[in-house]
Amino acid sequence: MFGTSGIRGIANSEVPCELAAQVGMACAQIASSPGLSKTGAGNPGKPKAGQGASGKPLLAVGMDSRLAAPMIKMAFSSGAMSCGCDVLDIGLVPTPLVSYATRKYSCDGAMITASHNPPEYIGIKLFSNGVEYPRELEAKIEAIVKSGAKPGSFDRTGALASADLREEYLSYLISLVDAEIIAARKPKVVVDCGNGAASLSMPYLLQKAGCKVVSVNAEPNGNFNRNLEPNEKNLADTAAVVLACKADIGIAHDGDADRAIIIDEEGAVLPLDVQLAIMCKNELEQKPGKVVSTVEASLAVRDAVEQAGGTLDITPVGSMNVQRAMSKSSCVFGGEPCGEYIYPYGVPCPDGLLSGLKFVEIFCKKGNISALAGKIRQYPIYRAKFPCKSDAKKSAMKYIDNEIKAFPGTPNGMDGIRKDFDDGWFLIRPSGTEPAIRLTLECKTPKRLDELKNKLEKIMGTAVSLAKAGEVL
C-alpha cells in the first residue's frame, strides 16, 4: 500500500475514496493510541498540543491542487472524524507546510498529493510532529486497513475546523535566511509553480523577501500547463521566460512543492547533481560537518562534499531515509538528486520553498548561478526510467540481477542493484512512486558511459518486456 513516499496511485481506481476513508480511520486509531504516534514539543497556545478544540486527538490535513485532492481529503477527514479525531483543514498548501502544522500542534496529519506524478494520480503522505510516518507506523496503518477499520460510536465523532497558516509559515521561512541581503539586492526571480501547491505560497514568499517576481503557471485550478515533474524537458518554456525577462534566477516546483529545480540566468536548467553539489558546499561553508544523501548521489556530489571539508553518509532512496539518518547524528544538510532538500534548522522534511529561497540567497551572496555551477566538476551521467507495472517489478528485477552478475565491480544491495567500479557506477532500482524501474549510470568518460548504457538498456528493455508478458520467473 505504501511506497517510498506514502500511498500513491490513480485516483478512484488505485486510490478510491473508500481507501482514503479507511486510512483516515486507521490514522485516528494511531493518533488515539499512546506510544504509537511520535510525540514532541509543540508550540504553546490553542489548540492544546496534539488535541483539537473538543479535546480529541487532532489531525492536520492539507492538499495540493489536483482535481481529485478535495475528494480524497474529505474522505480521509470523514474517516478520521468517524473514529474520534478532530480535523484541522489547512487548505491548499505545500507538503512542508503540513510538516510545519503537525510540528506546531504536536499532532499527526496528512498531505493529499501525488507530488510529481501526472494529474490522474493522487496520494496520501502521513506525518507526525513534522516527520513522515516511519515504516513501522505505515505497517500498522496497512494492518488496520486490511482488518477493516470501523467508525466509532456517535459520541466519539470528531469536529472539523480550518486554519490558514501560510503567512505564519512564510515569515518563518524568511527568518531562516539572510533576509537583509536579499532585500538589498532585490533580485528578479521567475517562479514556475507548476499550477500546483506552490501557487498560493511561493510568489508571495519571494515578494515578502524583497524579490522582483515573475510568476508562471501559478493558477492552482486543477489544470496543469506542463508535466508536473520539473525536469529540463518540461521546463523549456520556463527557461525561455527567464532569458526573456533577464531574470537573475528561475525556480520551478513539482505538484506539492517539496522539490525546487533551479534555472540559471542563462536559461539553463541546472543538472540535478550540480544543484545538489552547490547546496552541499553552501551548507558546509556555514557549518562544517556531515551531509546525508542517497545511493543515487553522483561523483560530483561526493567531490563537492569532500572539497568543502565535509563527510558524506549514504542512505537508500527516499526523503524518509534521509531524514532518519539526519536525526541519528548531527548533520548540516540532507538532500537527494531530485531537488528534495532537508535543512536541520527547518521542518524535518523536504522543503522546496525554503530551497528556492536559499538559492536566491546564494545568488545574492555569491553571484551568478551559472558561475557557481561551472565550479562543480561533472562527469558523464545518464538517468532513465523504464515503464513497468508494480506487480511486474519483482520479476523484472530478478531477470536484471541475473544478467548483470558477470559485470565487473563491487555490488551494493542497499537499495536496488548497484555496482561500483574504478571509473564509475550504476544503480538499477524499482521506483517507489511510479510504475517504472530506474537506471542511473555515471562514468568518468563518455565512451565508457555509452558502452555500459547500451548494454544496460538492452537488459532492462528485455526485462520489462518479459515481465509484462508474464514470462519472467
Which residues carry out catalysis? 115
CB 278 within 8 A of CB 269: no
Kindly report the length of the chain.
473
C-alpha cell at 457: 538498456
3-state percent helix, strand, coil for the chain, nearest multiple of 5:
40, 25, 40
C-alpha cell at 371: 558561475
Tell me the CA distances in angstroms from 347 to 112, 167, 169, 277, 337, one per residue in order: 18, 16, 10, 21, 19
Q: What is the DSSP letter of 357?
A: H
Place of cell 558561475: 371
**Residue type (1 letter), 85:** C
CB 283 within 8 A of CB 332: yes
Phi, psi at 314, each rounded to 5°: -115, 135
**CA nearest neighbour of 338 among 258, 250, 263, 406:** 258
Round to whole Å and give the CA distance between 186 and 188.
Answer: 7
C-alpha cell at 401: 540481477
C-alpha cell at 19: 481507501
What residues does 15 pair with on adjacent strands?
11
**CA nearest neighbour of 73 among 101, 112, 114, 128:** 112
Phi, psi at 226, each rounded to 5°: -145, 165
**CA nearest neighbour of 71 among 129, 11, 151, 22:** 11
Strands 121-128 and 108-112, bridge-based pairing: antiparallel
Q: How many other C-beta atoms can be found within 10 angstroms of the C-beta atom of residue 121?
A: 22
**CA nearest neighbour of 63 among 110, 27, 108, 20:** 110
DSSP E strands in 146-187: the ranges are: 160-162
Q: What angle do CA 344, 268, 366 make, to 5 degrees?
A: 50
User: Which DSSP string do the residues of 441-468 spell out, in sequence order?
Assistant: EEESSHHHHHHHHHHHHHHHHHHHHHHH
Quote the crossing angle between the two packed helices 446-469 and 393-403, to the nearest 10°: 140
